[in-house]
Amino acid sequence: MEKQTAYECMIVVDAKLNETKREDLIARFKKMAGEETTVEKMGQKKYGFYYLLNFRAASDVPAKMTAMMNITEGIDRYLFIAKTDIMLAQDVIRKQNRAKAREEYLAKKEMREKESKEVKEGE
């Protein structure tokens, strides 16, 4: 079994395509990348709709995906990055920080709702 490397791929899809076609394109590249691929929608920006794919694959997979992206109508731009161990560790820390921030946000929201309810009951 060939060694697998962690990759990140940013794909910019033409803004003129409808949502179904955009999702079909991303699904095709997700399938090429492998089963353990995560897709994050980054939203619409200046050049189109941005998608971030994170996956582990053999070293020849990005080249195959690049060849397919070059001939696929609707893919405006793309960029592959091979992740280092340090980058993977930073991803883990980033995810932990996001989870912690989300928990704090929900706790504060719950506290505000509780205080609002108490104020309404007091009136």
CATH classification of the domain holding 25: 3.30.70.60
Last residue of a domain, one of 83, 99, 114: 83
- Nearest CA to 1 out of 68, 58, 62 is that of 58
Q: What's the pLDDT at 71? A: 93
Q: What's the pLDDT at 1? A: 56
Residue with structure tokens 């070293």? Answer: 59
The better pLDDT of the pair 85, 34 is held by 34
Q: What's the pLDDT at 31? A: 92
Domain count, the chain: 2
**Does residue 93 sit in the same domain as residue 35?**
no
Please write the tens of the pLDDT for every residue from 29-64: 999 998 788 898 988 988 899 999 999 888 889 999
Which residues constitute the domain of residue 8?
1-83
**Does residue 24 sit in the same domain as residue 45?**
yes
Cβ atoms 74, 17 nearer than 8 A: yes
**Does residue 96 sit in the same domain as residue 63?**
no
**Mean pLDDT, residues 111-119 taken together:** 85
**Does residue 24 sit in the same domain as residue 78?**
yes
Q: What's the pLDDT at 92? A: 75
Q: How many residues are recorded in the chain?
A: 123
Q: Is 58 helix (H, G, I), strand (E, B) or coil?
A: coil
Give every CB contact of residue 12 below 8 A, 6+ residues apart in sequence: 47, 48, 49, 50, 75, 76, 77, 78
